[in-house]
Structure 1
Amino acid sequence: MTATLSAGPAAWLVCGRCSAMLYGKRYARGARVCPECGWHGPLTAAERLEQLLDPESARLLDTAVSDSDPLGFTDSRPYTDRLRDARAKTGMPDAVLCARGRIEGNPVVVAAMDFRFLGGSLGANVGEAVTQACEIALRERTPLLVVTASGGARMQEGIVSLMQMAKTSQALGQLDEAGILTVTLISDPTFGGVAASYATLTDVIVAEPGARLGFAGPRVIEQTIRQTLPPGFQTAEFLLEHGVVDMIVPRVELRSALGRLLSVANRRPDGEPHERPAERVAVIRDPAGLPERDPWECVQAARRLGRPTTLDYIGLLLADFTELHGDRAYADCPALVAGLGRLDGTSVVVIGTQKGHTARDLAARNYGMPTPAGYRKAARVMRLAGKLGLPVVTFVDTAGAYPGIEAEEHGQSVAIAENLKLMAGLPVPVVAVVTGEGGSGGALALAFADRVLMCANAVYSVISAEGCASILWKDPAAAPQAAAALRVDARSLLALGIVDGVVREPGDGAETDHLAAARALHDALADSLAGLLPLDQMTLVTARRARFRQFGAGTSVVLDDDPVEKENAR
């Protein structure tokens, strides 16, 4: 906490992290962020609403407040006395303020907590206020933003406080069922019952730099089980790495970041005119339109480091992109990128494997081979797409799923299988593009789609050519023969019906002109989405399942309950 050294408007303060002397007015103008070390000082709930909501847009909600003391609790003082003092000190009825407002013009319901009021603890009044905010968001079909600052459940209310975790979690679940976006802003600190309920149940979790989040606080952990905690334990940076939070946003950038997210998730028009491009041959659908090529040459072309990556395509194709991180379980896989953005003004979810252009990039991104955390991150973001009704675009460029010991320990097979089942029933349009290598089940886990496209120099196979050669030819040098036998090239796969179309590449390959490659991919995506967006959910899912049902069937399948098909089959 900051400490005031002198009174009046020119008060000097001491930074709570680096102990630097801070001039009060400058500190306030900088949103209470230390200019020396970036430490984000505490804000009151009223200051939060002022900082986040558009000027003059905030309207406080009249949430019910009770004076009840369910346990008649007394420690060194009666609980009722503590409540009275907290109200007098803060001017608040309890530890949360709720309001309607707008963020960058986007309507939102906000529940902002205040740590000054009994440590922001979760009591009946707080639980009731947050639940009422959820109910208002549900009734008005408006996104919900929760700003957390809490030490946990309110001990003075005992088991009644514990029940608030269930009540608020239920309310968040109803917003999920209704397809309404929910967002949490984690401020320091957020612990205990709040962390284990509504703080971590939202669609997107944003954290301020250095904010701490956890179920048990460091002191509790150290005192109860005597564990030595790693540096930076439970901070936003630690939690981003471990897959719990989606992003860390400095305070001065919060309004614009939240506004961008709300705008895209709500499919709000971006104000830019968007016209369909002039008629072009966006996708080649006839194998005769493609030249015959040596499959091994295609393998080598697909692996060129200069080819555009998922992040390259995102930068060239999408506006207002917000990247989401983490599987909410144990890690954020850098080999898989996911987020929301706009393609020609249409809000979309984009998911793709990410390699890189240098040895350092490749190592940092695990050579584009996703771990189970990557596939679970993809699944989480696809479920969000289904909830919000946003089409999904996937970019596939991977040698395959990561095959290491840790991946097996965390259920690589299960993660891939769960993605396949999820994508089979996803109630929104899905377009997959193999942009480079499409390696085995690790690629298919992102390519169970309504339209499966591939770039002209891409390859798609059950196994790498080298792997097949080692197993069946007993000689890795036989990879060219294996590639030919596996028919991994775009022309062969289009003829087999595995892909629905092939996207042309400029010159000798996409790596020679990223902009031209992106234009071609843009036209292919725009063409595919134009045909899918008008379709209802049942039509989409039924057709997608039928597309994959046909592979390997050999003969027509007659359903037991379809007498017309039975008669035709005779």
Structure 2
Amino acid sequence: MTATVERPAEEQSWLLCAHCRSPLYAKRFRRALGVCARCGHHGRLTARERIAQLLDPESIEPIEVPPAPDDPLGFTDRLPYPERLAAARRDTGLAEAAVGARGTLEGNAVAAVAMDFGFMGGSLGGGVGEIITRTAEVALAERRPLLIVSASGGARMQEGPLSLMQMAKTSQALRRLDEAGVPTVSLVTDPTYGGVAASFASLCDVIVAEPGARMGFAGPRVIERTIGQKLPPDFQTAEFLLQHGHIDAIRARAELRPALRRILAGLGAAGPGPAAAEPAVTDALAVDPDELTTQDPWQTVRTARATERPTALDFIGLLVGDFEELHGDRIGGDCPATVGGVGLLDGQPVMVIGQQKGHTPAELTARNFGMPVPAGYRKAGRLMRLAEKAGIPVVTFVDTGGAYPGVEAEQNGQAAAIAENIRLMSGLRVPVVSVVLSEGGSGGALGLAVADRVLMLENAFYSVISPEGCAAILWRDPAAAAIAAAELGLTAPRLLATGVVDGVVREPPGGAQADHFAAADALSAALRSVLADLRTRSTAELLESRHARFRRFGAT
């Protein structure tokens, strides 16, 4: 869907929005970046317009790519393939359905390639595959993040199986960037189908889509005609894809540049931030259990569960600058009880992941009361692997009564999802810090808490089971929860004494719930100190120390 007559827009005074059919003044439409002011519909842009809108104008340097063979098969349908190519080149002024360039995006160096749907439906042929691959090779050679803007109906039929080989060729180029630790970002525009969706558009580290953009392997008409299934109205739209865990974010066109800048900065693509602080002991962090006041365990449990306490998103908002939330496990789900994304902590890039509850009944219900489903653990695992690729630390905020125990969670492999995260975290080649904010419930908490340093807030608790559950099983009386809490060793002083946690973050008078800002200041000081120390360690030291940390539990 697009404006009725789109090329060349400069020669028209008025256009019609293809979505709401409203008349649009052409100059105002271009100033709005091709977005209808009345309905918000995002019209199609040419590849050159995409590059011009996303990159800093003075920085753009085209990437020259030698032409691919024009007619490898001698293909003719109603017209010979060379005639179709000639018409597309004449109409668009492009040699092929993609344009590559190096430049900067709000000061961040990138290599970018944009596809043009106006050129034979943006179909993926040898020329397009070569442009994408050459641009990826520039990104690899110059260690620039790669940005791919997709717009395509799929593989180019006129090039037969050779067009399919472009899917393998471009995917192979992205694998090399993965191995080299070079970030990749996919911007999905409308439409993105077939071989493009099934290769580079879906393989990037972060996938952002414009509102309403459609992406899928088979188009809706093909699906309906093949299997006779009635499809939902929003099928394959960006909103559908976000809900089902296939993309990270939806951003309106005016928001793309700042959002992409935050993603690039959070992945460390902008280079190191200000010099990290030297390792130092902070008064905010207690490392000796004798420094802590003995607490009544049951009262601690009740305090930790107070809805007024700051949540993971509260702390992220207070501690992490330029935070850009990322979504989806890339398998089919996104978990509202698990949040995560990139940002700057004390000026340094970091991946932060947390279990999110809420403050009101509506928020708690929407976030599943902080109980993650398998998609949440898989999303967290995906983000941790991305942090490892980018070479940035991982900070996790634990706050859950436990993993969600429902039938659907079991069907989707809840135990396996937690187990995979435990194994993954034990071998991450970057610093990892976990903080129990309030409630650390069983394996659901441990799925985000295998770390170099495990901290907890002073009034938090961390337990193998809830006191109520323990009382019901061992005392056969849920009313014995207070007794069970005392026996479970779940308070900060007990956990610090046993080495389950490495430090306790002091809370302000009245607890973190009384002063979110003071609690955030204390946690910030603790994280700064711990991360500064971990950044001085080599990868081998981190891995060996982390292994030894967990190896000692239960040993004589």
Instruction: Give the distance between the partners of 1:480 and 1:304, measured in 2 at CA.
Output: 17
Of 208, 211, 214, which residue of structure 2 is paired with 1:209?
211
Residue of structure 1 equivalent to 2:426:
424
Contact 2:211 2:252 in 1 (8 A): yes
1:239 aligns with 2:210: no
Where do 1:330-479 residues align within 5 Å?
A: 330-479=332-481
Secondary structure at the aligned position of 1:3 is classed as coil
1:107 aligned to which of 109, 134, 158? 109
- Is residue 100–residue 111 contact of structure 2 (8 Å, CA) maintained in 1? yes
C-alpha deviation, 1:332, in angstroms: 1.1
Whether contact under 8 Å (1:282, 1:527) holds in the other structure is: no
Percent identity over paired residues: 61
Give the match for residue 507 of structure 2.
505
Letter in 2 for 1:456: E
Are the counterparts in 2 of residues 335 and 354 from structure 1 also a CA contact under 8 Å? yes
Q: In the TM superposition, what whole-angstrom CA distance separates every residue of 1:17-42 from its partner, at most 9, and x where no partner exists? A: 11111111111110010001100000
Distance 2:380 2:117 in 1: 35
Matched, 1:126 2:138: no
Q: Does structure 1 conserve the Cα–Cα contact (< 8 Å) formed by 2:17 and 2:24? A: yes
Q: Which residue type is aligned with residue 173 of structure 2?
A: A
1:51 and 2:53 matched: yes
Aligned residue identity for 2:267: A
Q: Does the CA-based 8 Å contact 2:279-2:530 persist in structure 1? A: no
**CA deviation after TM superposition for structure 1 residue 136, in Å:** 1.0
Structure 2 residue 177 is matched with structure 1 residue 175? yes
Cα distance in 2 for partners of 1:204, 1:281 equals 38
AA partner of residue 485 (structure 1): E
Amino acid at match of 1:460: Y
Residue 56 of structure 1: SS of its match in structure 2? helix
Tell me how far apart the structure 1 counterparts of residues 310 and 271 of structure 2 sit (CA, whole Å).
28
* Contact 1:4–1:12 (CA under 8 A) maintained in structure 2: no
The one of 284, 287, 305 aligned to 2:286: 284
SS in structure 1 at match of 2:58: coil
Which residue, 236, 248, 251 being the options, matches 1:249? 251
Equivalent-residue separation in structure 2 for 1:98 and 1:214 (angstroms): 24
The separation in 1 between residues aligned to 2:166 and 2:272, in whole angstroms, is 39
Q: Hey, what's the Cα distance between the residues in 2 that align with 1:257 and 1:427?
A: 27
Which residue of 1 is the match for residue 190 of structure 2?
188
Answer yes or no: is the 8 Å Cα contact 1:137–1:143 preserved in 2.
yes
* Distance change (3 Å), C-alpha of 1:167 and 1:184: same
Specify the code of the residue in structure 1 equivalent to 2:220. Answer: P
What is residue 563 of structure 1 aligned with on the other side? none
- C-alpha distance after superposition, 1:68-92 (max 9, x if no partner): 3222111111111111111111111
Partner residue in 1 for 2:90:
88
Q: Is contact 1:284-1:503 (8 Å) kept?
A: yes
TM-score, scaled relative to structure 2: 0.97
2:265 aligned residue: 263
Determine the structure 2 residue equivalent to 1:142: 144
Indicate the residue corresponding to 1:544 in structure 2. 546
**CA distance 1:287–1:274, change in 2 (3 Å):** closer
Aligned mates of 1:429, 1:277 — CA distance in 2: 14
Q: Deviations over 1:238-263 (max 9, x none)?
A: 11110011011110111111122212
Q: What TM-score do you get using the length of structure 1 for normalisation?
A: 0.95
- Structure 1 residue 67, shift from structure 2 partner: 3.2
Distance in 2, matches of 1:436 and 1:174, equals 41
How far residue 268 of structure 1 moved from its aligned partner, in angstroms, is: 3.2
Instruction: Write the letter of the residue equivalent to 2:518.
Output: A
Match of 1:13 in 2: 15
* 2:526 aligned residue: 524
Structure 1 gaps of 5+ residues are 555-570
| Aligned partners of 1:459 and 1:488 also within 8 Å | yes
2:3 alignment partner in structure 1: 2
Once residues 134 and 3 of structure 1 are traced to their aligned partners in structure 2, the CA distance between those partners, rounded to angstroms, is 34
In the alignment, the residues of structure 1 paired with residue 384 and residue 301 of structure 2 have an alpha-carbon distance, to the nearest angstrom, of: 29
Q: 1:437 to 1:384 in 2, by over 3 A?
A: same
Structure 1 CA distance, aligned partners of 2:292 and 2:133? 59
Q: Which amino acid aligns with 1:546?
A: A
Q: Distance in 1 between matches of 2:99 and 2:517?
A: 48
Is 2:224 aligned against 1:219? Answer: no
| Structure 1 contact 240–326 (Cα < 8 Å) conserved | yes
Which residue matches 1:154?
156
Q: Higher mean Cα deviation, 63-72 or 333-342?
A: 63-72
Distance in 2 between residues matched to 1:12 and 1:337, nearest whole Å: 44
CA spacing shift, 1:528–1:196, aligned 2, 3 Å: same
Moved more, 221-230 or 280-289: 280-289
Give distance in 1, aligned partners of 2:499 and 2:396: 19
Letter in 2 for 1:185: L
Alignment partners' CA distance in 1, 2:10 and 2:435: 62
Residue identity in the other structure for 1:338: G
- Whole-Å separation in 2 of the counterparts to 1:66 and 1:202: 25
Q: 1:392 corresponds to which letter in structure 2?
A: V
- C-alpha contact 2:115 2:152 (8 A) present in aligned 1: yes
CA RMSD for the aligned pairs? 1.7
The residue type equivalent to 1:334 in the other structure is P
Kept in 2, the 8 Å contact 1:192–1:215? The answer is yes
Amino acid at match of 2:204: T
Distance 1:182 1:211 in 2: 20
SS at structure 1 position matched to 2:59 = coil
